[in-house]
Structure 1
Amino acid sequence: MTGHSWAHMWYLYMLIGLYLITPIIKPFVTKASDKDWIAALVLMFVMSSLFPTMNAMGAGLTSWMIISTPYIFIYMLGYWLCWKAPQRIVGNRFALTGVILLCLTIIVAKCYYGFNYYGYADPVTICLAAALFLLFRSLNVNWNLANRLAPYCFGIYLIHPVFINFTYKFLNIDEGLVVPIHHFFIFFLLFTLLSLCGTCILMKIPFMKKHVL
């Protein structure tokens, strides 16, 4: 709120906003028909994901056509994917795997060749996240490792920039610009492991475990 926290803390403020707006959108969520859902999601996708991405590429669309924050759309999309997505989509693992591979190929190519990556609102990011969610939902696998790591996810999210900033400010390495692309994934795995270890240590402190993590 003061502008002095690290950039990834936006997520915490966005959560507060989504909680506040939930009572406003709940009547639509509970009463909308399947056709209403599809129409709303398509409209929000176009105005909050597709158009902003096209504008970032120089399309020059007028501002009234664009919803600058895609997070309400992503919030509602998550609900639809969890509770209302047709079984023919959820159960089609072959198609979902194809979408995932295609999205990953596009993302890797954009990173490798230095194209501007639009982030959370990018249609490729949204399609990848949706396909991954539906694929794992269809597998319905109870992974012991995932269950054991789940309590540490929020802590990993909170502290991972510590290691990114250390690498950037003290080692003069910008991991986001590292080429070839496999170096980027090495950094990703390294930062995840260090963040997991850091979270495990912090959770040994009763106050951190109870009130923060």
Structure 2
Amino acid sequence: MHLTTGHSWAHMWYLYMLIGLYLITPVIKPFVVRASGKDWLATLGLLFVLSSLFPTLNAWGAGLTSYMIFATPYLFIYLLGYWLCWKAPQKIYGNKMLLVAIIILCIGIIITKCYYGFDVYGYATPVVICLASALFLLFKSSNVNWRLANRLAHYCFGIYLMHPVFINFAYKFLNINEEVIVPIYHFIGFFLLFTLLSLASTYILMKIPFMKKHVL
């Protein structure tokens, strides 16, 4: 019942939004096909300000009025992903030093959050947008064919679905809040632990034909 009414675990928002993105794709396709480079930059810039920068500033107490905020960042992220994959200029994704500098800066800001308490790593915040974009372009420019990564790619969706099971178990049954206990090192501790457990669970579930064909 909770799944059908949209009240399942928080990370399931992606599945509902995915349906919405599929539905809106025919509407935005004419723009995607015909837009010039300047059209793309203007659109992405405007959406970034309205759906990422302004909401983040508002969360910090800026007091921006509601009409200045486009509260749904999914369209922006959807279009940004396409632009990064197919439209990003060579001078951007070919500059590995710039990309590495952006990644280090973003990680530094996220670590700083642990000391000062401001929120910078929500999935639609400018820091996460910049970090994810830089990481994507860095791997794109590297063009590395990792055999291990190719094998693990089949389990990514299952890991995404399974990881909250272990997070909720640790929080609700063991009374462990990984961010409170290790505010800086939880990425290399709990993150790796939950990822490995989710990978193992997905591997086992994919041995079930129905789960492999229809769910994972």
SS of the residue 1:171 aligns to: coil
Aligned equivalents of 1:64 and 1:162: distance in 2? 38
Contact 2:167 2:194 in 1 (8 A): yes
**CA-CA distance at 1:63 after TM superposition:** 0.5
Q: Which residues of 2 match residues 1-213 of structure 1 at below 5 A?
A: 1-117=4-120, 119-213=122-216
Instruction: Determine if contact 2:114/2:183 at 8 Å carries over to the other structure.
Output: no
Residue identity opposite 2:71 in structure 1 = S
Shift of 1:118: 5.3
Q: Structure 1 unaligned segments of length 5 or more: list them.
A: none
Q: Could you tell me whether the CA contact under 8 Å between 1:81 and 1:134 is conserved in 2? A: yes
- Aligned 8 A contact 1:96 1:135 in 2: yes
- Gap regions ≥5 residues in structure 2: none
Q: CA deviation at 1:185?
A: 2.6
> Aligned letter for 2:210?
F
Q: 1:98 & 1:68 partners in 2: Cα distance?
A: 30
Offset of residue 91 of structure 1: 0.4
- Runs in 1 of length 4+ with deviation above 2 angstroms? 111-118, 176-180
TM-score by length of 2: 0.95
Deviation at 1:116, TM superposition (A): 2.8
Asked whether the 8 Å contact 1:70–1:121 carries over to 2, the reply is yes
1:147-174 CA distances to partner (integer Å, 9 max, x unpaired)?
A: 0101000000001111000000111011
How far has the Cα of 1:175 moved from its partner? 1.3
- The secondary structure found in structure 2 opposite 1:121 is coil
Q: What residue identity is the alignment partner of 1:67?
A: F
Describe the superposition over 1:37-90 as per-residue Cα deviations: whole angstroms up to 9, x where unpaired: 100010000000000001001011110110101110010011111111110001
> What's the RMSD between the two structures over aligned residues?
1.2
Counterpart AA for 1:84: K
Distance 2:210 2:20 in 1: 26
Q: Distance in 2 between matches of 1:7 and 1:169?
A: 15
CA distance in 2, matches of 1:12, 1:180: 29
Q: 1:199 to 1:112 in 2, by over 3 A?
A: farther
Q: SS at 2:210's partner residue? A: helix
TM superposition shift of 1:181: 1.0
Specify whether residues 4 and 49 from structure 1 end up closer, same or farther in structure 2 by C-alpha distance, changes over 3 A only. closer
Provide Cα deviations, 1:101-129, integer angstroms capped at 9, x if missing partner: 00011011113443234501100000000
